[in-house]
Amino acid sequence: MVVKLREPTIPITEIEQSAFCRTDDELKAKTLEEEFSAGVRWQKLPVSYMRTSPEVLDQRIFDAKKKLGSRLVILGHHYQRDEVIKFADLRGDSFKLSQHAASQEDAEFIVFCGVHFMAETADVLSSPEQKVILPNLTAGCSMSDMAATDDVLDCWDDLQSTLADDGGIVPITYMNSTASIKELCGRNGGIVCTSTNARATFEWAFGQRQRVLFLPDQHLGRNTGLKLGIGLDEMIVWNPFKPLGGHTEEELRNARVILWQGHCSVHTRFTVAQIEQARAANPAVNVVVHPECTMEVVQAADSNGSTEYIIRTVTEAPAGSAWAVGTEISLVNRLAAENPDKTVFCLDSVVCPCSTMYRIHPAYLSWVLDGLNEGVVVNRITVPEETAEYARVALDRMLSLA
């Protein structure tokens, strides 16, 4: 057993999560300098970019993108701001974007408007000649940051020594994790999943061995286990700050699913009380949430699914229907604007964007595109080949299930 205790720590990405929460509905970008005044610690840019208005940046991005032509493809996650997502050639959730990244054979530059683990995945899946760029290097993900590589390696060593001769265990990591965690999964017979295919990856894993280690989101893991009929008494949470994750060897042997103690700072804001309030205001409202929400919220909702599922469900719903949505606010606002024949609103009345997705301010996009036009590649994301090799194995296993 690895006995290495350290004080519980909270990632800076989690601490900054509420930096842009507000009670009005105004999410319009300000200058980067003004946004810095929220006290956030983002990548610094030349002062000229810091002070340029979003309107001027908009035209500059348009011109720079045009000049780069087919040498460039911009991938944009649905949780990006309006001022950024409008420039994406391809949009998607993390699953769809990983497929897009793997299929972009012609572009010399892939600019990823999303967060760090997504850009890493794009680098792993694209060809060595292609350059993947993350406009703001501090655009991480608090959930991903909750699974530090050393902690996961210690956990894996403990599980190996406790369970190896007792049916074994398959590691599954959610896409929202670093390349080194994906590598650990690939090297040890495991797989990557997204919220689109979590169930299929659990079924695949139970075809290999008796147990699953699920990283880093305990809620997606628990919600998926419940969908497969696995009881709560068969799922335990691994606390990286306690010996053996806070369990006895017997408890580990009796578990079918071991959930890493991680969560999404955005989706755990949704509560059952918010659902009750929405239903009290309109008994006909439909509640749809993301499976990164807690088990209680997922069970109280009418339906749940990935970001792509939520978009499809609301878009295909009949005119006149009402939708309370439990996912990231930039996407919910966009859904509302694109479906004017329906009532679409966020379950949480406090407007609280994912603060790490929000770090891709138009000034960063403008800066990296200007650099490319001048022959300078800034903020390139590269995963060392020794890590990429097995991360690719875990990703390819997932893509072959799709």
Q: Count CB-CB contacts under 10 A for residue 22.
A: 12
Give the position of tokens 């519980």: 8
Minimum distance between the CB of residue 157 and ligand SF4, rounded to whole angstroms?
27
Q: Tell me, what amino acid is at 37? A: S
Q: Both ends of the chain: CA-CA distance in Å?
A: 37
**For ligand SF4, the closer CB: 223 or 265:** 265
Give the bridge partners for 310, in sequence order.
none
Rounded to 5°, the CA angle 135-138-140 comes to 100
Minimum distance between the CB of residue 316 and ligand SF4, rounded to whole angstroms?
24
**For ligand SF4, the closer CB: 122 or 255:** 122
**For ligand SF4, the closer CB: 158 or 328:** 328
Structure tokens at 309: 């599922």
**For ligand SF4, the closer CB: 328 or 370:** 328
Minimum distance between the CB of residue 324 and ligand SF4, rounded to whole angstroms?
18
Minimum distance between the CB of residue 206 and ligand SF4, rounded to whole angstroms?
25
Minimum distance between the CB of residue 3 and ligand SF4, rounded to whole angstroms?
30
Nearest to 198 by CA among 179, 173, 170: 173
Cis omega before residue 340 (within 30°)? Answer: no
**For ligand SF4, the closer CB: 29 or 139:** 139
Q: Is 214 exposed, middle or buried (0-12, 13-18, 19+ CB in 10 A)?
A: buried
Nearest to 143 by CA among 221, 242, 234: 221
Minimum distance between the CB of residue 62 and ligand SF4, rounded to whole angstroms?
26
**For ligand SF4, the closer CB: 313 or 356:** 356
Q: Is 246 exposed, middle or buried (0-12, 13-18, 19+ CB in 10 A)?
A: middle
Residues that bind ligand SF4 (CB under 6 A): 79, 115, 141-143, 176, 264-266, 328, 354, 356-357
Distance of CA 17 to the CA centre of its chain: 14
> How would you classify residue 391: left for phi > 0, otherwise alpha for psi between -120 and 50, otherwise beta?
alpha
Total residues belonging to the chain: 402
> How would you classify residue 217: left for phi > 0, otherwise alpha for psi between -120 and 50, otherwise beta?
beta
**For ligand SF4, the closer CB: 58 or 240:** 240
Minimum distance between the CB of residue 143 and ligand SF4, rounded to whole angstroms?
4
DSSP string for 269-299: G--HHHHHHHHHH-TT-EEEE-TTS-HHHHH
**For ligand SF4, the closer CB: 224 or 356:** 356
Measure the CA–CA gap between 276 and 268, rounded to whole angstroms.
Answer: 16
Measure the CA–CA gap between 191 and 185, rounded to whole angstroms.
Answer: 6
Minimum distance between the CB of residue 368 and ligand SF4, rounded to whole angstroms?
19
**For ligand SF4, the closer CB: 134 or 266:** 266
Minimum distance between the CB of residue 159 and ligand SF4, rounded to whole angstroms?
24
